[in-house]
Amino acid sequence: MLIELKDVNKTYNNGQPLHVLKGIDLSIDEGEFVSIMGASGSGKSTLLNILGILDNYDTGEYWLDGRLIKDLSERQAADYRNRMIGFIFQSFNLIGFKTAVENVELPLFYQGVSRHKRHMIAMEYLERLGLKDWSTHYPNEMSGGQKQRVAIARALITHPRIILADEPTGALDSKTSVEVMDLLGQLNREEKVTLIVVTHESGVANCTDKIIHIKDGVIGEVEMNAQHNASAFGTSTIMK
């Protein structure tokens, strides 16, 4: 198993203690295309933070690629994030004063890759995502779909073990959303990238092969969805 969560609990202590994750057991295998679905407040964002080593959990175990992710130092956590996890965010999170190619390069910069080499690799990825001509453009000169593709290139560049997408279509119109989800599906099929999409949209979840429902901090139903017909809302579109 690439990812294994055993009885993971997380409580926020802001005044009133809030038990957000109540014993999550979850395993995801290499090459899977999974969505984690839940309403807001269900704990899916917290789960994503823990999966992405952005936040700590209180009890339980989180194994990523055979390594126990627990009580890491900040530096170590940063290093694991850099090498094992690629992030795709709802609001793209590109750095505004850097060009597309500089944004894509950034994870390699933190790996200490030389300027010349990382520029070459970044150009390669931009080309694969059809953005070669946009490499010297700044994010505010690009459309939402283009920005998200730059972000995907940035997530892919380090060959991470998993890619975590947090509402990847949340800021996109439905046509672009379909394109982005198709792109993710394609990456999963052709490059065997392990993808975890966190969403509250059933249409988005339907694009994935496995839907994990989370509700009130516990894993509910796990739906196998190889045929992409899980949702009542359309098999061929993403409802907004």
Partner 1 sequence: MRDVFVEIWESVRRNKLRTCLTGFAVAWGIFMLIVLLGAGNGIMNMAQGNMEGLNVHSMEVYGSTTSKPYGGFKQGRRIELDESDIRLTAGPAFTDHIDEVTAILSQSGFKMTYGKRYFDVGMTGVYPDYAGQNQMQILAGRFVNKSDIDNLRKVIVITHMQARNFLGGKENYDSLIGQRVKIGNLSFKIVGVRHAAENENDSELYIPYTTLRGIFAKSNKIDMLSFTFHGLETEEDNEAFEKEYRQIMNRYHGAAPDDERAIWIFNNFTMNMQMDKGRHILEVFLWVIGIFTLLSGIVGVSNIMLITVKERTHEFGIRKAIGAGPWSVMKLIIAESVSITAFFGYIGMVLGMIACEVLDSTVGSNPIEVLGESITIMQDPSVGLNVAVEATLLLIIAGTLAGLIPASKAAKVKPIEALRAE
- By CB under 8 A, what part of segment 62-101 binds partner 1? 74-75, 77-79, 81-83, 87, 89-91, 93, 95-98
Q: Strand (E) positions, the chain? A: 3-14, 16-28, 33-37, 59-64, 67-68, 85-88, 162-166, 194-199, 210-215, 218-224
Site stretch for partner 1 (CB under 8 A), options 20-28, 50-58, 133-141, 215-223: 50-58
Q: How far is the CB of 75 from partner 1 (least distance, A)?
A: 4
C-alpha to C-alpha distances, 95 to 31, 139, 176, 188, nearest whole angstrom: 29, 8, 21, 26
Q: Which of 38, 107, 139, 217 binds partner 1 (CB under 8 A)?
A: 107
Three-state DSSP state, 40:
coil
**Considering only residues 191-220, where is the footprint of partner 1 by CB under 8 A?**
none
# binding residues, partner 1 (CB under 8 A) = 32
155-172 per-residue burial string, b: 16 or more CB within 10 A, e: under 16: bbbbebbbbbbbbbbbeb
Question: Is the Cβ of residue 46 or residue 225 nearer to partner 1 in the bound state?
Answer: 46
Figure out which of the listed residues 1, 41, 61, 111 binds partner 1, where binding follows CB under 8 A: 111
Q: Which amino acid is at 49?
A: N
Quote the least distance from Cβ 70 to partner 1, whole Å. 17
User: What is the contact mask toward partner 1 in residues 154 to 183, using x (rule: CB under 8 A)?
Assistant: x---x-------x-----------------
Q: Cβ 45 to partner 1, closest distance in Å?
A: 7
For the bound state, the minimum distance from the C-beta of residue 231 to partner 1, rounded and expressed in Å, comes to 25
**Site membership for partner 1, residue 149 (CB under 8 A):** no
- Helix 144-156 with 174-191: angle, nearest 10 deg: 20
**HEC sequence for 140-192:** HHCCHHHHHHHHHHHHHCCCCCEEEEECCCCCCCHHHHHHHHHHHHHHHHHHC
Q: What is the binding site for partner 1 (CB under 8 A)?
A: 45, 48-49, 52, 54-55, 74-75, 77-79, 81-83, 87, 89-91, 93, 95-98, 106-107, 109-111, 115, 154, 158, 166
